[in-house]
A and B are shown apart, each in its own frame.
Chain A
């Protein structure tokens, strides 16, 4: 089966940088996705890494190391609106997507 580990909660100051880590155990790995979910809202896709390295999309970047079964989401210039839950998810084998339990990010002034 698959398993993903990510911190349950992270708190960071507005304007700062925060990194949310994700480690996974799976077979037939294809890639690592990240989703954002605000309270009461639906998850929205942020990024996908199939290859090692850093992908940058505006203030958000995502990193993958396949050899370490590890990835992270990096949020820069934090804003209050970034307070949300962030989920990593792996695509592997015949399972389309398996989600982690999520990291709740609180941005404080």
Chain B
């Protein structure tokens, strides 16, 4: 079946602009996660959604970052007033449930470059 997909694959934007990143999880996966990975670094947790529960936003670095998940499926990560330090690869992952979070399936990521 289809894996996790993300769009766009690459995004170049000017400092101060808003960007939206999209994630389509694997069908049937109720948990969805967003991470940020800077070059050569580990994965920084941003936010996760589990079913219809309120999302855990504890990893969002600032109030310029927000995310939503519509209909328990597609998710959008929005970064407002982008800064150069926001440049990174943004990875989305999904799993069967939070209890299955040990096995996450990752999308190919969106490489964001803020100029």
Contact = CB atoms under 8 A, between A and B. Distances in A.
Interface string A52-89: 00000000000000000000000000000000000101
B42 A87 contact: yes
B102 A98 contact: no
A45 B103 CA distance: 6
Given A42-B91, A96-B33, A96-B98, A101 B41 contact: yes
Contacts of B108: 41-42
Contacts of B33: 96-97
B20 interface: no
Contacts, number: 53
Interface residues of B, number: 23
B109 A97 contact: no
A99 B58 CA distance: 15
Contacts of B56: 94-96
A97 B91 contact: no
Interface string A22-54: 000000001101000000011111001010000
A30 B43 CA distance: 19
A89 B33 CA distance: 14
B77 interface: no
The interface centre, meaning the residue of B42, B43, B102, B106 with most chain A CB atoms within 10 A of its CB, is B102
Nearest to B50: A96
Nearest to A43: B106
Nearest to B108: A42
Interface string B27-54: 0000101010000011101001000000
A98 B33 CA distance: 12
Contact of A97 (B41, B101, B105): B101
Interface of B: 31, 33, 35, 41-43, 45, 48, 56, 58, 91, 93, 95, 98, 101-109
Interface of A: 30-31, 33, 41-45, 48, 50, 87, 89, 91, 94-102
